[in-house]
Amino acid sequence: MPTQDPPRGAPPVADQTADLRVPADGERWRCAGCGNLTRFDVTRTRRTTEYWHFDLAGEHQVEEETVRSEDVEAVSCRWCGRSDAIEVVDRASADTTADPASDSAAG
């Protein structure tokens, strides 16, 4: 989808999050728009090496996987649909009461 230019003098509007990465240990995604911490649509491309173990019937199971590269192309909030408000935050300090899925937010 092409991006429209902002009006003259206005700051550019992001179509997507600036920080497109999988959160590290101790981090998580958060939608700054609605407070969602739990549900996101993620588009990513992964290059992996896998060890496949086939049984005698020909069914396989992946027993080992090594991720060679991973690119997150897009992240959007499943609750409000925004892709421009997704941020990576510290997992321990994330306010879970603001999440639309929490009992207190449901009211």
- Contact criterion met (CB below 8 Å) for 51 and 62: yes
Across residues 48-53, what is the average pLDDT? 98
Name the strand (E) or helix (H) holding 64: strand 60-77
| Mean of per-residue pLDDT scores for the chain | 84
84 CB contacts (<8 Å, ≥6 apart)?
A: 13, 14, 15, 16, 17
pLDDT of 1 higher than 70: no
Across residues 77-106, what is the average pLDDT? 84
Using a cut of 0.85, tell me whether the model's pTM lies above it. no
Rounded CA separation 31/39 (Å): 9
**% of the chain exceeding 70 in pLDDT:** 78
**Residue 10, pLDDT score:** 43
**Residue 18, pLDDT score:** 59
Rounded CA separation 107/104 (Å): 5
Q: Identify any residues that bridge with 31 across adjacent strands, giving them in sequence order.
A: 86
Across residues 45-59, what is the average pLDDT? 97
